[in-house]
Amino acid sequence: MRVILFTFAGRKDRMFMLEKSVQKALDSLSIDEWHVWDFAKKQEDENWIHKNYSKRDKIKIKSRTIENESKYWSASYEYYYKQQYENYSDCIFIKVDDDVAGFDVKELGGFIEEIQKLDNKNYISANVINNSSCYFFQKKYSYFDETFDFSPHDLWAQYSNAKRVHNFFVHNYEKIKNIAHTNSRIEKLPLDIPTSINFIGFKFEFLRYFVDILNDGKSIDDEYIISKIHREKNKANCFIYERLLVPHITFNAQEKTKGQRDSMHLVNLYKDFTF
């Protein structure tokens, strides 16, 4: 079963961190292909994507299939299931945001094993740092100290909280890693806790549920389709794989927090970070 990792790209000032881990995963044969979807909003980013990835083995640049910016993401899922069914029906998929600051490739194999065990409608997330659904368990198991008293929603909505989480993670990585490896590998997320899809894995047939919802005309946002509509309509479960720790830089809501848009501080925080 082939493993396809795909990313909606691409911010050069962040994506270079993800690239390092993905290249290691390709070299170690943990994944078979990386699909870099060119959704760049700036010409300089688009030029960088094509210059950097157009001639690299096992990396494929995918161009947007429609021009409506609000539908880029959903159309990409349809591309795999409708237009390329024969080519990808034997695959499993890992969707990774372009501002994921890398991951521990040694833990990717266990994550892929858990994807293979999933029912078709279910999906699994890495243990993402700066992700409200994962933070639910991270608080439960004391990844952070008692001063981290804000809610998962307040993490999602406030850049200042994201900054605290990232700084603590970087400076306490070994402690957090030990906790993650002490607990059970898998946690099932309660249905009333919303999910964020910064780093998720699923089987090919998962895409059928996504496309069916699109056909109903209910939503065009991939995160809302997966985390809200699909979970409610199809009683789908989301699981967290604790051992794969993955830092995610920021959400749009955090970026928009007035007076606190210094997210390049977080990018710089991870430049020399090693898993």
Sketch out the chain's domains with CATH numbers.
Answer: 2-270 (3.90.550.10)
The residue behind tokens 């990844």 is 143
Residue 195, pLDDT score: 87
Alpha helices in 124-228 (DSSP H): 132-140, 152-157, 159-171, 173-182, 206-215, 222-224
Inter-CA distances, 194 with 25, 81, 134, 219, 230, Å? 29, 25, 10, 16, 12
pLDDT given for residue 67 in this prediction = 63
Question: In the predicted model, what is the mean pLDDT of the chain?
Answer: 90
**How much is the pLDDT for 158?**
87
Greatest alpha-carbon pair distance for the chain in Å reads 52
pLDDT of residue 69 exceeding 70: no
Q: Is 17 a residue whose pLDDT tops 70?
A: yes
pLDDT of residue 138: 95
Amino acid at 123: Y
Q: At 188, phi and psi to the nearest 5? A: -95, 125
Phi, psi of 91 (to 5 degrees): -110, 160
Q: The tokens of 5 are what?
A: 């990792």
Between the ranges 74-88, 120-134, 145-159, 186-200, where is the mean pLDDT highest?
120-134
Burial class (CB in 10 A: 0-12, 13-18, 19+), 259: exposed
Q: Give yes or no for residue 108 having a pLDDT over 90.
A: yes
> Element (H or E) spanning 188, and its range?
strand 186-188
pLDDT value at residue 179: 95
pLDDT of 235 > 70? The answer is yes
Place of tokens 């100290």: 145
Average pLDDT score over residue span 187-214: 92
Q: What is the pTM of this model?
A: 0.94
